[in-house]
Structure 1
């Protein structure tokens, strides 16, 4: 193939020419051969210099990317550029075409040739026009039926002494000879996608790699339209438009330099699915900020073309994003920065260039304002999105490819959106349940692929539970997510949300849950009808009842009894729900009604024993009511009962602004076993007719019944101050309910007198479901006798008593004897003697201890004295191996001791030498004193 360099300086012709299929037929007189196309494959390959310069672009009013010193010294703004490769056109020469290898002869033959459609990708002898940079086109008739020709002058064109630049204008062969070409009617077909996908030169250019990739894909199947295409030694001139369903391209270039380049890429915004377009517009302007240089300025705009998306038909995608219409309220975004991302398909192994990007601005990702419609009003928030180009290629459609969706899900992740704590109907059922609406403070949004395109999905919700805030003061955010069963079945599934397990405990706060009952259970889900539930404790498939042992721990109690041991045939846990109220805080309800109770220890159902609990709290106030019906307490144990308390009802009520109240209905008290002796008196007392005195403290509530019996007088017999007292204590801190019963009390014992004999006492006992907690009884007796003989008078008395106390498992029995008297003669001489002896049994140490005190006083008018003898405390028996024989409790006295067969005695004498001497004299008469025993 002969090669020629065709140069003509007059009009700047500069071509590389190669030919094949030509034969020398003759020579001109000047010796120049004449070539002739004698076969059908004669070809003329014309190579042009680079036809395009890819110039650096910048956004409007941005400073120049670089500055360089000029020859005079000042810095000048500089924009970089990259020169394209050469372009070539292979022309077919019809048989008989004559070619003289001169400039004029080659141009003459060129005008007779027709471009040959190249191979894809083109070979080194095929047509390959690189205009613009890195875009390789072939040319063809846009409408079909005609061939493309090169319209160019053979000789230089000079007008008034000015010679024009030689240009080869390519056009469809339609115009009549001599008529101007207004529309080249060319089709530009992309023939080298690999070159189009090559990297950019390291700076922003009007037609970047992403747009070239898109253009090459579209123009390979359906060519773009060129109304003007001229080639010259100084660069090409191009007016082209490509309009496809998902991509648009407009390009204006003059002599290799871009004037206006516009691309529009269609796509959708992931994960919401709204259609949008991404536009890049580069224009050459005289920019004052660039020293009035004609530079390329670019603008990048994202436009939302589908402002509103309607929800898809009922199904998992609708349930996963419980909103109606979704609107992006701002439709136009300028200054968008796009960093396109590629995608390697994991199944086909193909790499797809420039598939998606995250729209960003100077300050980071763009937050798109979103409005979501609900039945209760609009929800507004801002959300970053991904722009996914609508790419359709053999074996790959970007907007419906599941593998790309999975990749987008990984790239996008889960975006958290804060909300101002709004009530959201998460089900949107025709019949709304209380558990459908929740107070949402944040949503986490991901994406999914639906038959209608990308759809958002709530992968998590941050909720606050007004019920727990109102009932327990707990206001922490709780993460929740839709259950798989709900997403699959919809409103037919009752359990709506799974959530991080939380502990719901009224232990120690029973005043909030009805006083009588202190529920405690875990919750890890939200039911539409039951509120907070534990999915593990719900009835197993096919089962009707809940296992209380799996629902309640041992500290959940009713009247101090473990709930798990009391409840039976349980169908649901305590139902805790909140009902939104327009413009007001939600109404919180806790309901647990018709709960059947069974026998457990000392708790004995009487008929159909049930528990009913209702707690309602709203903006107008709160109501708490808890009632236990038809039960009896067999105390201390059902096998050996001493007391049977039977209740028709026990009801706790508390209305906001009022004190808590306890109402007891149909109480019957029956003494059994060893306490039957007081049954007759108990039968005479009908507590159901009495109104209790209620004492309420932060620790609990006490209902006190008191019945005063009238004094009884029969001759010398007098009985007074006899009262029957009963208390029912309901603690709010989880301790069991206890019952106290007593005749009189330690502070106010009853009194009994018969002639000169008198006495009194009291009986108190306290029981709960664990048994007899405390029993205390005391009886006192004695007599007093006085005589008066005018000159002398006297008095003698003797008293005794015993007290029994059982508390915390320890038994204490104490007794005393007090004997004394006095004599007075003529008011001048008086003598008194008082002896007191006490005994006590201590069950903790199994010791019997005692103490005796003797006091003698003598008054002879002019002289008086008194002596007090105190034995201290001594152990008569028991006390264990480590017990002390005695221990004094009088820290202010001097202690003396003696050993002997008679035991040990202790003297607590007055601190005088006379007293000590008299005591030693008395002691020596009975027991010898050794030096080592003296203290």
Structure 2
């Protein structure tokens, strides 16, 4: 106790001094011992926080506690008030005095009640401007020899009419908010730092209400309630010990923005796990008070999250652990805002996975994701739901939970009245962040992972593609055709897989955006604003081809890139379409338009099957080059078609063959051979399509001169791997050479020529001549032959020149027994290895009617000269005759000498 403004004015007969207030600011400061005990609390399902041995050694459950600091009340004494420094004299003076109105922050001589722990209050009349008085006994209250505990009951001197008699009608004003920010005592207490800080901030502006406030040497008794716009506090304490503490914090759930309330309730109960001792147990509940959020009006916020209503389907979450509130430091001002957010978690420390339903255009999209609870705080200089710095901080904190996996759901990302094929995408994940909107948050999609069924169906490419909305689309809406930017460019290449793109054309596009009408596109190859045309050189790389020719050199007046669209319809499997029609072509190298040359490509793949149609019209191929022409193939159309369940087909209107240059001598033969009217032999393989035309010619006979097996062959090869179209012209072939006979002498040969737009690719020619003698004695017949020949082959820059000798014969007896033998010796020069190689093969065949067999002896390849490989070499090396002679002599010496007389 301390006094100020009083002077000694006399003494009583017993000698005690009498003090009198002789100023208007005389006061008596009464200091109380700690009025509150901050006791440890735990969840109702949790075991006791500690187990310690008792004095007897038996284990007992323990809840820890911390004492508050002392409390003090300053009483104003009116002028003339007398005080005798005895217990009853001081208590009498207190009953005449009036507590002094609160001061913030309080001085050492001002009223300051620490009740509850680390929360400094002062009290005043609820109506304001009226006095507060202390109701306390001056003398002990004794009954049956038992004296009651002295206490000071603080009440409003003039409560407003209708106030219950037991209602103290007081207002509690927080006068030292910084004290509430002190750290907790190292264990959980009912009113933790986050709630104390919020309580002190709210009660410093608008005080809470107390219906009971009593102070004593054993602790304070408090019944208080505080109701603010976004925070509520209820507190019941008796003699310094909490009985019931409840706080309700209103806020929003980031990033979705739903309103919610977080409730902490601590009650003293007789706990069975504590031996039925009265301990504090807590319950933590989060309740979603705004189950459904409707979309904002049409605008950037609505476009950034292309869903309708967003609903959190589970509203109450009672099984939470205590919130782990996180402070936020503004990086610009370095000001720390306490208890800015927390992540709701269950008792097993796992974040709550909130079930969410988003209404899409024709379906509901459901997923779960952790959310952050952000209290709705409005203080001078800081509003939690409109602060951009806090928004950025929350986005960074929530990043680990922002990616939401989805099971490949088709979602309309535009929600326009007129839907385009490119509005709907197969979404496999979304990245959700919150953005400030009005007084709260609205979700937005900062990234999506989509898969393009068109590419999966057309190319077998199921690579996920990370995309994000384009800024122009978000600001201007459905008037924009470009919808999404790709985070990483995606190459779409049919090079080597032209069977999937119509056989004739191999598009290759490096895409970095998704168009609503065209699908994947390259932003660097958009139509020129002035001409409306696309530069093919910026759209196609060098390996994109048509009939093996570079697309960027063939395409002209291009207004749109190939359209690659995914067709996603509710309840149906994904389908895909690639369309590129009316594409004008210009001359480039051997490719020569003969009119309005165009390309039309349509590929459609669905669950019902696939249809591919590719047509090139009105063109000619002048090979090898227009400057040195040898052959012209003119087509009215060249069409590739493929329907699921059947083989690919190629149809031609043409070609009209014209021999040019050095081949003009064959023009008459070409005019006689109208290949366009001959049904081709089409061979379809995974490598491509080969169309073969063959026209046999009649044998030529003139006396002993006979020329047979004549044929003119033409082969058009259309590879599916992007290689150029090639044409092979042949007079006979290796498999079926022409035959020439003059009496017993004969021979044959063939000539094949392969050309493409690069020039001559392969030239192969062979001539063979020799003799054959056959006899027939009815019961037996036989023949012997000997042929020699030369074959020349030019493949690219590699030249192979081969000479060979075939000697053989056969004999047949009564048609039952036959024996044949043939020896083939070849000598070849290979330009690639600069080697002269030889090979010998002997084949013996025996047929005894019921048994037959064939024996082949092959020497393998022997390098006779040159070369750098490890092939077998001949015993004698012609390049080193001296060394070869020595080895030959050593070889001879290994055998027993033959006697001079010879063998007998």
The TM-score, its normalising length taken from structure 1, stands at: 0.81
Q: Select 1:607's aligned residue among 595, 598, 613.
A: 595
Distance 1:727 1:607 in 2: 25
What is the CA–CA distance in structure 2 between the aligned matches of 1:422 and 1:696, rounded to whole Å? 38
Distance 1:257 1:651, change over 3 A: same
Q: Is the 8 A contact 1:149 1:173 kept in 2?
A: yes
Tell me what 2:38 maps to: 54
Counterparts of 1:172 and 1:893, CA distance in 2: 130
Q: Is the 8 A contact 2:42 2:282 kept in 1?
A: yes
- The Cα offsets for residues 179-221 of structure 1, whole Å up to 9 and x where unpaired, read as 9932111101110111111111111111111111111111111
Distance 2:715 2:439 in 1: 71
**2:632 touches 2:660 (CA, 8 Å); kept in 1?**
yes
Deviations 1:783-818 (A, max 9, x none): 9999xxxxxxxx9x9999997765435677899999
**Structure 1 residues 782 and 240: alpha-carbon distance in aligned structure 2, compared to 1, 3 A threshold:** closer
TM-superposed CA distance for 1:452, in Å, is: 4.8
Contact 1:815 1:838 in 2 (8 A): yes
Corresponding position of 1:592: 580
Of 253, 256, 280, which residue of structure 2 is paired with 1:296? 280
Q: How far apart, in 1, do the equivalents of 2:426 and 2:826 lie?
A: 70
Q: What are the equivalent positions in structure 2 for 1:291-440 lying under 5 Å apart?
A: 291-334=275-318, 335-361=320-346, 362-414=348-400, 415-440=402-427
Matching of residue 487 in structure 1 with residue 474 in structure 2: yes
Distance 1:420 1:784, change over 3 A: closer
Q: Which residue of 2 aligns with 1:569?
A: 557
1:443 and 2:443 correspond: no
Matched pairs, number: 825
Structure 1 residues 839-848 or 335-344, which shifts more? 839-848
Q: Could you tell me how far 1:162 is from its partner in structure 2?
A: 3.5
2:19 is matched with which residue: 35, 41, 50?
35
Runs of 5+ consecutive residues of structure 1 not aligned to the other structure: 1-15, 787-794, 819-835, 851-878, 900-916, 918-935
Q: 1:679 to 1:147 in 2, by over 3 A?
A: same
Separation in 1, partners of 2:741, 2:220: 136
Aligned mate of 2:546, from 555, 558, 576 = 558
Alignment partner, residue 457 of structure 1 = 444
Cα distance in 1, alignment partners of residues 327 and 770 from structure 2: 108
CA distance in 1, matches of 2:378, 2:170: 25
* Structure 2: distance between partners of 1:176 and 1:433: 69
Cα RMSD for the two superposed structures = 3.8
Change (3 A) 1:62 1:686: same
Q: Is 1:681 the equivalent of 2:661? A: no
Q: Which deviates the most, 453-462 or 754-763?
A: 754-763
SS in 1 for 2:307: coil
Tell me how far 1:632 sits from its aligned partner.
Answer: 0.6
Partner of 2:242: 258
Structure showing greater radius of gyration is 1
Distance 2:626 2:688 in 1: 27
Task: Tell me if structure 2 keeps the 8 A contact 1:356–1:387.
Answer: yes
Displacement of 1:618 in angstroms is 0.7
More displaced stretch, 419-428 vs 256-265: 419-428
Please point out which of 49, 72, 75 is paired with 1:65.
Answer: 49
Matched position secondary structure for 2:630: strand
Relative to structure 1, the CA distance from residue 114 to residue 731 in structure 2 (aligned partners, 3 Å threshold; closer, same or farther) is same
Q: Residues 351, 721 of structure 1: CA spacing in aligned structure 2 closer, same or farther, 3 A cutoff? A: closer
- The alignment's TM-score, normalised by the length of structure 2, stands at 0.84
CA 392–167 in structure 1, closer or farther in 2 if over 3 Å, else same: same
The equivalent of 2:462 in structure 1 is 475
> Once structures 1 and 2 are overlaid, which stretch shifts more, 222-231 or 372-381?
372-381
Q: Which residue of 2 aligns with 1:533?
A: 521
The answer to whether 1:522 aligns with 2:510 is yes
Structure-1 residue corresponding to 2:622? 634
Moved more, 640-649 or 750-759: 750-759
Q: Does 1:768 align with 2:739?
A: no
CA offsets 1:401-435 (integer angstroms, 9 cap, x no match): 11211222222225222111111222222222212
Q: Are positions 1:644 and 2:628 aligned together?
A: no
Contact 2:699 2:708 in 1 (8 A): yes
Give the Cα separation in 2 of the matches to 1:155 and 1:694: 123
Cα distance in 2 for residues equivalent to 1:412 and 1:564: 47
Q: Any unmatched runs of 5+ in structure 2?
A: 775-782, 807-823, 839-863, 883-899
* Map of 1:129 onto structure 2: 113
Q: 1:894 to 1:114 in 2, by over 3 A?
A: closer
Q: How far apart, in 2, do the equivalents of 1:810 and 1:133 lie?
A: 96
CA contact (8 A) 2:428 2:451 kept: yes
Is 2:217 the partner of 1:233?
yes
Distance of 1:761 and 1:815 partners within structure 2: 13
Write the deviation string for residues 486-526 of structure 1: whole angstroms up to 9, x where unpaired. 33333333332323123322222221111112222322222
Paired residues of 1:443 and 1:458 also in contact (CA < 8 A):
yes
In structure 2, C-alpha distance between the alignment counterparts of 1:813 and 1:393, rounded to whole Å: 96
- CA 1:441/1:845 → structure 2, altered by over 3 Å: closer, same or farther? closer
Residues 80 and 543 of structure 1: CA distance in aligned 2, closer, same or farther (over 3 Å): farther
Corresponding residue to 1:81 among 65, 69, 72: 65
| CA pair 358-785 structure 1, distance change in 2 beyond 3 A | closer
